[in-house]
Amino acid sequence: MSDIRPQLAGHLLVECLVAQGVTHAFGVPGESFLAVLDGFHAYPQLRFIINRQEGGASFMAEAQGKLTGRPGVCFVTRGPGATNASIGVHTAFQDSTPMVLFVGDVAGDQRDREAFQEIEYTSFFGPSTKGMAKRVERIDDADRIPEYVARAFATAMNGRPGPVVLALPEDMLTRTTTARPLPRVEPVQAWSDPGSLRELREMLLQSRKPFVIAGGGGWTPQAAQALQRFAENWNLPVGNAFRFQDTFDNHHPLYAGDVGIAPNPKLAARIRESDLILAIGPRLGEMTTSGYTLLQAPKPRQKLVHIHASAEELNRVYQADLAIVATMNAAARSLEVLAAPPDLPWNDWTEAAHADYEANLVAQPLPGDIDMPAIVAVMKKHLPEDAVHTNGAGNFASWVHRFFKHHGLAKGHKTQLAPTSGAMGYGVPAGIAANLLTGRTVLTMAGDGDFLMNGQELATAVQHGGRSIIVLLNNGMYGTIRMHQEREYPAHVSGTGLANPDFVALARAYGYEAARITRTEEFEPQLIAALERKQGTLIEVMIDPELITTRTSLSAIRAAASKK
């Protein structure tokens, strides 16, 4: 006879997460999964972080997936909880981040009646290349919880990483079961085909102007270090894909810059001029390709070697001259052993690429009393090398994207958490999650509009002992949209002005320390103080609305548009 005692299915679910190595789960409680909440009480080694809104919770889980390489975990209730959380699922999908969202669902005997808050999750999250999740399933049998959880983790990590959604009927969670967790799931490594590696080497030998674009999900410190050795062996210029700027060390003499929104014009020209692009990891989306112009779709002018963990991603948008299915660990380790010839014809090309990057760090004069490149320089001066940098979406992020240098994964740590999906409100919750998970110093760059989308998660940080430093750039408007508005409808301001609260008072009300600065020289002492104190800090930086991008002013954009 078995001596295994039956337990509630909700408790078994938590035990299965513990077996998968999960230490933190994020979420907003709901009556639909009370048995799971009770399971957190029964298994205290898994810490449940109570959020203030499901969007913030799902962003925290997405950040967890980015940092750990294993699925971030989020729990929400049905209907409004799931729809609020969908922003984090969409971000995880576009960013190729492993994540599992658990949704408390209506009871099985009430399904398909439009019961209270009922949603059909397969239709809503739509697993497909145009959907939000890799897999969407409902667990109707308590005895199969271990199977569904293990499959969710495997699906989230294997191939192109991404989110999985599991619906949990309320009545299923309260049943008893003697099922036991399955063993911890590890991602499968897909190795490069030896014949393709030989072909890649021949393509390199025939090239005169090669360029590497690295990024996407699935990178580890070991993979980043192997990529660096490959680049060094072949003296290749390397650019990091949009918001994966910690994939290759920005201090390295082979680094050529970030291939993201409005890249260095000389970098964009160099990619167009290249005769061979090695895309290692990125899916080559709209932002990395500048609207599919740096590489023409569907057939680039340059020869293209595309290495990706998912066969479905290869040749989906771009027809590659050579497509290789491989995970980043396997791909980078395969590439580093490719023998390079003693003499390479592109040494000057590579040196010039790095020189262009360094020249792009020199800022042009812009209006206002705040010198943002100087602010970023102070951050670089005082922040620890392993500090985590987070941001949401908006023009404010371009200051750190252009001027901050990451050592990143090659030095052993992921240091950038940012949404390639362009989701506003990501930076604050992602930063709090990063601190709770790692204990490392976290700096979040936020805009005023961006902050107000999830600023309530400061309450989550204070409740759970989290600490982040938030640099809030306040220009009183949705700056990115205002920039586009001035380009398309100059001097017609509509829907972009903001009446903001007192951010210093608001942060203090949540339990953060806070300060407001209006001049550049005020920033350094405030950052030093923030680094020394045990509680989180918000530093509000009052920005001239004219300071709209790292390269031009709002008036200049308006004037140029008026001449058209």
Claim to verify: residue 352 and residue 455 sit in the same structural domain: no
Say yes or no to pLDDT of 291 above 70: yes
Say yes or no to pLDDT of 375 above 80: yes
Within-domain flag for 484: yes
The partner residues of 93 in beta bridges, in order of sequence, read none
Within-domain flag for 441: yes
Claim to verify: residue 93 and residue 203 sit in the same structural domain: no
Q: What is the DSSP letter of 223?
A: H
Q: How confident is the model at residue 33 (pLDDT cuts 50, 70, 90)?
A: very high
Claim to verify: residue 501 and residue 383 sit in the same structural domain: yes
* Predicted pLDDT of residue 332: 97
Gap between the Cα atoms of 249 and 252, Å rounded: 6
**pLDDT tens string 110-121:** 888 887 877 888
Say yes or no to pLDDT of 129 above 70: no
**pLDDT tens string 7-29:** 999 999 999 999 999 999 999 99
Q: What is the DSSP string of 346-390?
A: THHHHHHHHHHHHHHTSPPP-SSS--HHHHHHHHHHHS-TT-EEE
Within-domain flag for 400: yes
Binning the chain into helix, strand and coil, the percentages to the nearest 5 are 40, 15, 40
CATH for 99 = 3.40.50.970
Considering the chain, what percentage of its residues have pLDDT values greater than 70?
99
Q: Structure tokens of 20?
A: 């998968």
**Cβ contacts of 337 within 8 Å, gap of 6 or more:** none
What average pLDDT does the segment 196-204 reach? Answer: 98
Claim to verify: residue 521 and residue 474 sit in the same structural domain: yes
Total domains in the chain come to: 3
Claim to verify: residue 286 and residue 403 sit in the same structural domain: no
The residue among 1 and 79 whose pLDDT is bigger is 79
**pLDDT tens string 429-462:** 999 999 999 999 999 999 999 999 999 999 999 9
What burial class does residue 419 get, using C-beta atoms within 10 Å of its C-beta: 0-12 exposed, 13-18 middle, 19+ buried?
buried
Claim to verify: residue 57 and residue 98 sit in the same structural domain: yes
Claim to verify: residue 98 and residue 122 sit in the same structural domain: yes
Neighbours of 350 (CB within 10 A): 22
Say yes or no to pLDDT of 2 above 60: no
**pLDDT tens string 237-252:** 999 999 999 999 999 9
Say yes or no to pLDDT of 130 above 80: no
The number of residues in the chain equals 564
Claim to verify: residue 382 and residue 326 sit in the same structural domain: no
Claim to verify: residue 152 and residue 210 sit in the same structural domain: no
**pLDDT tens string 305-364:** 999 999 999 999 999 999 999 999 999 999 999 999 999 999 999 999 999 999 999 998
Q: What is the mean pLDDT of the chain?
A: 95
pTM of the shown model = 0.96
Domain-terminating residue out of 325, 360, 395: 360
Residue type, 141: D
Domain-terminating residue out of 122, 149, 177: 177
Q: Classify the phi-psi angles of 523: left when phi > 0, otherwise alpha if psi is within -120 to 50, otherwise beta.
A: alpha
Gap between the Cα atoms of 363 and 376, Å rounded: 12
Beta-strand pair 24-27/72-76: parallel
* Predicted pLDDT of residue 128: 61
* Predicted pLDDT of residue 1: 40
Task: Residue 404: name the closest of 416, 414, 420 by CA.
Answer: 416
Within-domain flag for 117: yes
Beta strands in 42-140 (DSSP E): 47-50, 72-76, 99-105, 135-138
Neighbours of 392 (CB within 10 A): 28
Claim to verify: residue 407 and residue 501 sit in the same structural domain: yes
Gap between the Cα atoms of 399 and 421, Å rounded: 18
**Cβ contacts of 212 within 8 Å, gap of 6 or more:** 231, 236, 237, 238, 239, 277, 278, 279, 280
CATH for 339 = 3.40.50.1220
Q: What is the DSSP letter of 441?
A: -
Q: Classify the phi-psi angles of 137: left when phi > 0, otherwise alpha if psi is within -120 to 50, otherwise beta.
A: beta
Within-domain flag for 187: no
Domain-terminating residue out of 117, 148, 177: 177
Within-domain flag for 189: no
Within-domain flag for 264: yes
What average pLDDT does the segment 62-69 reach? Answer: 98
Claim to verify: residue 154 and residue 255 sit in the same structural domain: no
* Predicted pLDDT of residue 279: 98
Within-domain flag for 55: yes
Q: How confident is the model at residue 533 (pLDDT cuts 50, 70, 90)?
A: very high
Distances (CA, A) of 314 to 279, 294, 442, 487: 11, 18, 35, 35
Which residue segment(s) compose the domain that 150 sits in?
Answer: 7-177
Claim to verify: residue 337 and residue 276 sit in the same structural domain: yes
Q: How confident is the model at residue 94 (pLDDT cuts 50, 70, 90)?
A: very high
